[in-house]
């Protein structure tokens, strides 16, 4: 993403309440769910049929590597754990009803620790060492269409998704119907596939299955 849009969409420190991201942690803090998960309400308001190929993911980690837990606290006091995966991804997100009810998130971490967050749009395509280029292109197209429908609400921060970034794949090639292969460009250690710039590709062959498939803007030259 461009610097401006990345700051708006993935620089969560700017969106979190003052004193959270990057600051010394007390034993626990509470924050409104919508502030910890920005843009989730917009994503969940997209009809389910129009977001079958992509999703919105949030990653949080304590900078020192210590434990971090999230618990959703509803208006009636109901408590629901929101587990974090090994990579820091929040594997269960608040619902649209939770966000509208202004549910809060109780965050617990070692006292004095600091944490950081990141948000990504991810393709739902199952990661593999050999992937269907058409499926990834369809994820890009669906995400583009959904963002365009919400652009008026997102404003200047609306990203122009053009490619998939195959984090953890190492390297790879794109192969067309005749068997001709082209290397995938590697930026910041991750190969990427841009359907418009690599038209006619049928298969992606990667060094290994990616850990996540991010939908992102085309980098500026």
Are the CB atoms for 195 and 125 separated by under 8 Å?
no
Q: How confident is the model at residue 14 (pLDDT cuts 50, 70, 90)?
A: very low
Q: Is 202 left (phi over 0), alpha (psi -120 to 50) or beta?
A: alpha
Which span out of 13-27, 101-115, 154-168, 197-211 was modeled with the highest average pLDDT? 197-211
Greater confidence, 5 or 131?
Answer: 131
Are the CB atoms for 31 and 16 separated by under 8 Å?
yes
- Convert the pLDDT of each residue in 131-147 to its tens digit: 999 999 999 999 999 88
Q: Sort strands 201-206 and 79-82 into parallel, antiparallel or unpaired.
A: unpaired
What pTM, to 2 d.p., does this model score?
A: 0.84
Q: What are phi and psi of 25, to 5 degrees?
A: -95, 130
**Average pLDDT score over residue span 87-110:** 93
Q: What is the predicted pLDDT for the residue at 59? A: 92
């Amino acid at each position: 993403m461009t610097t401006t849009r990345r700051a708006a969409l993935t620089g969560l420190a700017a969106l979190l309440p003052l004193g959270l991201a990057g600051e010394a942690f007390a034993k626990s803090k509470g924050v409104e769910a919508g502030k910890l998960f920005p843009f989730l309400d917009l994503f969940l308001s997209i009809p389910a049929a129009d977001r079958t190929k992509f999703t919105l993911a949030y990653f949080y980690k304590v900078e020192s590597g210590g434990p971090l837990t999230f618990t959703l606290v509803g208006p009636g006091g109901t408590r629901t754990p929101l587990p974090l995966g090994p990579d820091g991804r929040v594997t269960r997100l608040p619902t649209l009803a939770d966000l509208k009810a202004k549910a809060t998130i109780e965050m617990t971490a070692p006292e004095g620790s600091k944490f950081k967050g990141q948000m990504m749009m991810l393709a739902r395509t199952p990661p593999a060492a050999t992937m269907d280029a058409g499926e990834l292109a369809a994820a890009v197209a669906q995400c583009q269409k959904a963002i365009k429908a919400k652009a008026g609400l997102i404003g200047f921060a609306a990203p122009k998704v053009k490619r998939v970034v195959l984090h953890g794949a190492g390297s790879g090639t794109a192969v067309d119907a005749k068997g001709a292969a082209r290397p995938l460009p590697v930026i910041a250690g991750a190969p990427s596939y841009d359907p418009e710039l690599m038209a006619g590709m049928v298969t992606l062959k990667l060094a290994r299955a990616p850990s996540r498939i991010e939908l992102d803007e085309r980098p500026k030259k």
